[in-house]
A and B are shown apart, each in its own frame.
Chain A
Amino acid sequence: MEDNILLKINNISVVYSDVIQILKAVSLDIPEGQIVSLLGSNGAGKTTTLKAVSGILKPENGKVTEGTINYEGHNIQNSSPERVTRLGIIQVMEGRQPFKYLTVEENLRVGTATRWGKPYKKDLEMVYHYFAPLVYRKHSLAGYCSGGELQMLVMGRALMAQPRLLLLDEPSLGLAPMLVKEIFEIVKRINKEQRTTLMLVEQNANMALQIANFGYVMENGKIVLEGDAKDLRENPDVKEFYLGVAATGAIKTYKDVKSYKRRKRWL
């Protein structure tokens, strides 16, 4: 089956502040309607890859110096976020960034910025349908929501933009295992029911590879491994380094590595 490629990242290099090179000749394809997962350790360059696509590199003084990013016939490397979002690509940033002093519903309404003036009531209903807990917090300030509610909020906010390609950066970070499972199920449903194509950056390789169709593994700014999600799950290297099943039988999960970054939160 020949898939229609929605996003094609072609040999890109990314440099911050004109001198710090983070990505080196990264290529990856996101086929339409699929979930593609991007795995890798801390500092591998996953977030940088997402930012290169969404245009958020620019305000951070980063630049795509080589290669192209092609989305439906548009070259979008080094475009502004205003343009990229209006083409239908929305990034959900790492670390859940709510508008603290806006209510939950106001947060969701910011998601309509790319199509200002168009009706959005149906989209609100759709978001509340996927993320039911948000309904009860509609009118409370986002700053007082729990980590789980915030994750739902930032994903719901992105859905309000009716994206064709959703870039999710570590949705599971710091959430209780039950909640992670629930969030991933919702992601899968959104992918199926809304036909949203997803690029999923995760440390939780196990969960990510269960819902993804395809996976890439990144190390030090380079893609080192790629393949169908089910093949990756069986790959001995991935098993050892990302699924926490070491050859010796010892458990080396990424949770341990990243624990300093994780803030425990319960819904």
Chain B
Amino acid sequence: MEFFFQILINGLSIGFLYALTALGFVMIFKSSSVLNFAHGGLMAIGAFLFLVLSVWARLPIWLAFILTLAGSFSLGFIIERFFLRPLIGEALIEVIMLTLGLFIMFRGLLLFIFGGDIYSYPDFLPPALTFHWGPIEVAGVYVATFIIGLIFLGLFGFFFKYSSQGIYMRSVADNQPAAMALGVHVRRVFALSWAIAALVCAMSGIVLGIINGINVHEVSDLGIKVFPVVILGGLDSIGGAILGGIIIGLLETFTGGYISSGLREVVPYIVLIIILLIKPYGLFGLVEIERV
């Protein structure tokens, strides 16, 4: 029972993390129909930026964290402005090639600077964060992820539901010509989606770095996991992305805990293939409202 509870918490915190990155991915797709293959690259950049700021520049952890998020946010803006905007209106395949190219470029750059070694962050999580409850013990990093994940999901939920800028973003995803006719700055919405995506990618890059250590290949490959998550949730549904993330997170940890840790990494892709076979638009894909 304790084991179950422990795995549940681990699974949920990983799930929140996947949910957040999937949210970034879906936001870009919904507003500009771009499939972002550079996702893992953005995660790796976030992880290494945090490494540089916290270990090499010896900034206080909280400051390094905030600067990493701010830097990634700006990077998202820059990517949209200089790489994607010139391609607005071009064929889908060109945009896909571009994001794939960005991924390879980011990874190449990081490999050039950091090589293929495994780095680790200083042990900055306070021991008090480790959660004890009877025989149950949940590692501090999972507790921290759980809390941060919950906070950010709440923040984004609030942003998209209530803030004007969030509503403009959803309007572009919903009906772009109509949004344009009302004066919504569509390109700014694209840029903002990239910025948000880069920010959440950085956050999950950091957390995965804390859990597994930071290695260019590993962190950037983890970005591919966003595909099972968004395919499960439905590419066009923010709510679906969040649920999909939590489900994949739970599946992974439960498979790892009860079946075999070797299978753990494979399970999301098995799910991906099954979903694609039986329900190609995802479990929670938007139900098309059609009223005649």
Identify the A interface with B (CB < 8 A).
Answer: 54, 56, 59, 81-82, 85-86, 90-93, 97-102, 106-107, 109-114, 116-117, 141, 143-144, 154, 157-158, 161, 263
In the complex, A111→B164 CA distance in Å? 10
B174 adjacent to A113 (CB under 8 Å): no
A82 adjacent to B185 (CB under 8 Å): yes
Q: Tell which of A90, A92, A93, A116 touches B164, judged by Cβ atoms closer than 8 Å.
A: A116
Q: List 6 A-B contacts (CB under 8 A).
A: A81-B181, A98-B178, A102-B174, A110-B168, A144-B289, A157-B182
Q: Does B177 contact A (CB under 8 A)?
A: yes
Question: Which residues on B sit within 8 Å (CB–CB) of A106?
Answer: 167, 170-171
Question: Which residues on A sit within 8 Å (CB–CB) of B185?
Answer: 82, 113
A100 adjacent to B289 (CB under 8 Å): yes
In the complex, A93→B181 CA distance in Å? 8
In the complex, A85→B178 CA distance in Å? 12
B289 adjacent to A143 (CB under 8 Å): yes
A116 adjacent to B175 (CB under 8 Å): no
- Provide the main secondary structure of the chain B interface: helix
A110 adjacent to B291 (CB under 8 Å): no
B170 adjacent to A113 (CB under 8 Å): no
CB distance from B161 to the nearest CB of A (A): 9
Q: Which residues of B (258-292) have their CB < 8 Å from a CB of A?
A: 286, 289, 291-292
A59 adjacent to B180 (CB under 8 Å): yes
Q: Does B100 contact A (CB under 8 A)?
A: no
In the complex, A106→B173 CA distance in Å? 14
In the complex, A90→B184 CA distance in Å? 11
With both beta carbons as reference points, the residue of chain A lying nearest to B173 in the complex is identified as A101
CB distance from A105 to the nearest CB of B (A): 10
B184 adjacent to A91 (CB under 8 Å): no
- Given A97-B177, A101-B289: A158 and B182 interface contact (C-beta under 8 Å): yes
In the complex, A97→B185 CA distance in Å? 18
Question: Which residues on B sit within 8 Å (CB–CB) of A101?
Answer: 170, 174, 286, 289
Question: Which residues on A sit within 8 Å (CB–CB) of B292?
Answer: 263
- Given A102-B167, A144-B291: A81 and B180 interface contact (C-beta under 8 Å): yes
Question: Which residues on A sit within 8 Å (CB–CB) of B171?
Answer: 99, 102, 106-107, 110, 113
In the complex, A5→B225 CA distance in Å? 59
A99 adjacent to B289 (CB under 8 Å): no
With both beta carbons as reference points, the residue of chain A lying nearest to B286 in the complex is identified as A101
Tally of contacts, chain A with chain B, CB under 8 A = 86
CB distance from B249 to the nearest CB of A (A): 26
In the complex, A157→B170 CA distance in Å? 15
Q: Tell which of A59, A113, A117, A144 touches B182, judged by Cβ atoms closer than 8 Å.
A: A113
- Given A101-B286, A114-B183: A56 and B170 interface contact (C-beta under 8 Å): no
Question: Which residues on B sit within 8 Å (CB–CB) of A90?
Answer: 181-183
With both beta carbons as reference points, the residue of chain B lying nearest to A97 in the complex is identified as B178
Q: Tell which of A92, A100, A110, A263 touches B179, judged by Cβ atoms closer than 8 Å.
A: A110
CB distance from A138 to the nearest CB of B (A): 14
In the complex, A158→B178 CA distance in Å? 10
CB distance from A165 to the nearest CB of B (A): 13
Q: Tell which of A56, A98, A158 touches B175, judged by Cβ atoms closer than 8 Å.
A: A98
Question: Which residues on B sit within 8 Å (CB–CB) of A109?
Answer: 164, 167
In the complex, A54→B170 CA distance in Å? 22
Question: Which residues on B sit within 8 Å (CB–CB) of A110?
Answer: 167-168, 171, 179, 182, 184
In the complex, A91→B180 CA distance in Å? 10
Q: Tell which of B174, B180, B181 touches A100, judged by Cβ atoms closer than 8 Å.
A: B174
In the complex, A110→B182 CA distance in Å? 7
In the complex, A113→B168 CA distance in Å? 7
A99 adjacent to B291 (CB under 8 Å): no
In the complex, A263→B181 CA distance in Å? 23
Give 8 nearest A-B pairs by CB, closest first. Answer: A85-B183, A143-B289, A114-B183, A97-B178, A99-B174, A113-B184, A110-B171, A113-B183
With both beta carbons as reference points, the residue of chain A lying nearest to B237 in the complex is identified as A101
Q: Tell which of B175, B178, B182 touches A161, judged by Cβ atoms closer than 8 Å.
A: B182
Question: Which residues on B sit within 8 Å (CB–CB) of A91?
Answer: 181
A93 adjacent to B183 (CB under 8 Å): no
A161 adjacent to B167 (CB under 8 Å): no
In the complex, A106→B171 CA distance in Å? 9
Q: Given A81-B181, A97-B175, A110-B184, 4 more contacts at CB 8 Å?
A: A56-B180, A56-B181, A101-B289, A102-B174
Q: Does B212 contact A (CB under 8 A)?
A: no
With both beta carbons as reference points, the residue of chain B lying nearest to A88 in the complex is identified as B183
CB distance from B35 to the nearest CB of A (A): 21
Question: Which residues on B sit within 8 Å (CB–CB) of A56?
Answer: 177, 180-181
